[in-house]
Amino acid sequence: MPFSREQFFGVFAAYNHDIWPMQAVLFFVAVAAIAAAVENRRAAVQILAGLWVWCAIAYHWMHFVPVNPAAWLFGALFLTQAVLLVRNRPPLEFIDIPSRRIAAGGVFIAYALVAYPVFGTLIGHAYPYSPTFGAPCPLTIFTLGVLMMVRPPLPLALAIPALLWSLIASPAIFRFGMIEDAVLPLAAAAYVAFALHDRGLRVASMLREVRHA
């Protein structure tokens, strides 16, 4: 990585200082997205897209670029995720009955909003030198959790930017001790597993129809 540990955490400090008190606003925006998903409203996807636009501009382009020029590309990746969310067809619908997928999504959502900052503080990444909600990794964990609540089949292509970010950001877990981000690749793996499971069920159903035709 072309930047030091001090620069890495310094980006969070600068970002948190400059956007205050938007951290609280972003938290309640996320809660609104969850409520919309529970009610199966299109607003859930639109809110998610807005959060990815925010992160692309406010974090990557305004704060991360000075220490890592690749953040121009990261911002573009996040904007791509926003576009995929709002332009996905047919529109996403959310599950309205309990399932393992909803339970898993709920765990990742709760982690991103509550456990992530608490755990980060406990291991020494205290505010403002820590990612608050709206920064890339907690936002990605949250988004994958919300998308796990989508009715089958879970769209794998829709989350490609989020899955790519989980790969891009994972080295920081080891290099900078971002242990709180260890859940990020787990969320990505869970999302891919659920998506492949849905595809497998769909293929099996098609094969059964062919046999009985």
Q: What is the pLDDT of residues 83-131, one digit of tens each?
A: 999 998 888 889 877 789 999 999 999 999 999 999 999 999 999 999 9
Is the pLDDT at 162 greater than 80? The verdict is yes
209/213 Cα distance (integer angstroms): 6
Q: Return the percentage of the chain with pLDDT > 90, whole number.
A: 81
**pLDDT tens figures, 180-201:** 999 999 999 999 999 999 888 6
CA distance 211 to 206: 9
Quick one: how far is CA 119 from the chain centroid? Answer: 18
pLDDT at residue 52 tops 70: yes
Task: Look up residue 50 and give its two tokens.
Answer: 């807005």
User: How many helices and strands, by DSSP H and E, does the chain display?
Assistant: 10, 0
- Mean of per-residue pLDDT scores for the chain: 93
Q: What is the pTM of this model?
A: 0.94
Measured distance CA(206)–CA(194) in Å, rounded: 19
- Mean pLDDT of all residues in 59-72: 97
Is the predicted pLDDT of residue 71 greater than 80, yes or no? yes
Q: What is the mean pLDDT of residues 36-60?
A: 95
